[in-house]
Amino acid sequence: MNEYNSKQLRRTRKGRIIAGVCSGVGEYVGIDANLIRIGLGITTLFGGLGVGVYAIAWLLMPEEGKDTSIVQDLVEKQQQKSQGSSSPWGGDEHKPQP
């Protein structure tokens, strides 16, 4: 199956209320996004789990049109930052002279 023909779980812009998580999941699963919103609302009322699930999904699901999620972007940025400077001061001018 071609990569362009496969379904991908993404936060959508169309039908978005907060971050597009419910509309993206609804589109991926093939059900109405309002049913997912109701389910998350119920789980939020009974224990607060819905807010955590929504927040985790928001961080892990890439937005429509992007290939990486918020967490992936932050990890890559941190890796680039740590690879860019070998010393905590960023340059060689602060190293002690022998």
Token pair 């071609």: residue? 2
pLDDT class of 20 with cuts at 50, 70, 90: confident
The 10s digit of each residue's pLDDT in 42-67 is 999 998 888 888 999 999 988 888 88
Question: What's the distance, CA 10 to chain centroid?
Answer: 9
Share of the chain above pLDDT 90, in %: 18
36 or 83, greater pLDDT = 36
The CB-based long-range contact list for 41-44 (8 Å cut-off, 24+ gap) reads none
In 3D space, the residue among 2, 27, 9 whose CA is nearest the CA of residue 67 turns out to be 9
Per-residue pLDDT, 96: 55
pTM: 0.67
**Count of CB atoms within 10 A of residue 38's CB?**
12
